[in-house]
């Protein structure tokens, strides 16, 4: 027969849940430590997904310097993409996302911004990804941008492949790149007014008529014959 003390110990042991093993990533942690030291005040925040990926947020002023450090010191010479995000909630409300706009309903406009991994502070952020093919490590880079029509240094001296990406960002978001060699539109006419990927760009065609949905398509020869025969038999 067991003593009361023994039963109490067994109950305590059963009630203690095993703790999850802390997963670390020494390679990416060392990278964050290095780039934090190199950038100084230009470094803002970071996030590591162990054994998977890493995010780094820097200041607008440190955008070009960060590219140089990643390329020259960390061997990240493979440029994947560069784009931008407008975190401002749409002033037109969520009904713009629906298949058919219901203009009679009250428009609910969200006001709070959410910046995702590694955070943010401004409406506009630049987002880029570069990669080291030898170490198989990449980094997602973010930078908060000041003002409604920000300007930031071009990455083209370091990553020539950023050329067209920056042109698209200028065209779609209104973000300019200093010292870019050919800042002209990729898609839209030169005289086009506005920047279509900004949240405050009005999609007037959506407001004037419903989203077209499924388009009527003329049947190919022979299609629909079975249905016609069935209708004939019923009559």
Instruction: Give domain status of residue 231, yes or no.
Output: no
3-state secondary structure at position 88: coil
With beta carbons less than 8 A apart as the criterion, state whether 188 and 194 touch.
Answer: no
Domain membership of residue 11 (yes or no) is: no
Q: Please check whether residue 104 lies inside any domain of the structure.
A: no
pLDDT tens-digit series, residues 141-198: 999 999 999 999 999 999 999 999 999 999 999 999 999 999 999 999 988 889 999 9
Pick from 182, 130, 150, 156: which is nearest to 86 by CA?
150
Domain count across the chain: 1
Give residue 136's domain range: 23-94+113-203
114's CB contacts (< 8 A; 6+ apart) are 87
The pLDDT confidence band at residue 213, using thresholds 50, 70 and 90, is very low
CATH number at residue 41: 3.30.460.80
Residue 194, domain member (yes or no): yes
What's the rounded Cα separation, in Å, for the pair 41 and 74? Answer: 19
Task: Provide the CB-side half-sphere exposure for 205 (13 A, CA).
Answer: 3
Residue-level pLDDT at 157:
97
Instruction: Report pLDDT digits (tens) over 4-38.
Output: 555 555 555 555 566 666 678 899 999 999 999 99
- In angstroms, the Cα distances linking 220 to 142, 217, 223, 224, 225 are 50, 9, 6, 9, 10
């Amino acid at each position: 027969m067991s003593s009361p003390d023994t039963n109490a110990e067994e109950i305590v042991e059963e009630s203690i849940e095993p703790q999850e093993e802390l997963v670390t990533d020494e390679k990416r942690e060392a990278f964050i430590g290095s780039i934090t030291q190199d950038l100084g005040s230009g470094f803002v925040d970071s996030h590591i997904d162990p054994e998977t990926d890493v995010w780094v947020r820097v200041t607008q002023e440190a955008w070009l310097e960060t590219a140089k450090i990643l390329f020259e010191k960390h061997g990240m010479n493979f440029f994947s993409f560069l784009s931008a995000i407008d975190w401002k909630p749409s002033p037109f409300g969520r009904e713009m996302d629906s298949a058919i706009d219901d203009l009679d309903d009250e428009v609910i406009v969200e006001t709070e911004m959410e910046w995702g991994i590694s955070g943010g502070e401004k409406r506009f952020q630049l987002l880029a990804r570069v990669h080291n093919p030898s170490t198989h490590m990449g980094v997602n880079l973010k930078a908060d941008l000041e003002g409604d029509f920000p300007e930031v240094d071009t990455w083209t001296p370091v990553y020539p492949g950023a050329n067209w990406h920056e042109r698209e960002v200028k065209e779609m978001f209104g973000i300019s790149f200093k010292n870019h060699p050919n800042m002209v539109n990729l898609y839209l006419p030169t005289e086009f007014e506005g920047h279509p990927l900004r949240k405050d760009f009005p999609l007037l065609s959506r407001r004037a008529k419903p989203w077209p949905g499924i388009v009527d398509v003329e049947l190919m020869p022979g299609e629909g014959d079975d249905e016609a025969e069935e209708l004939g038999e019923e009559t």
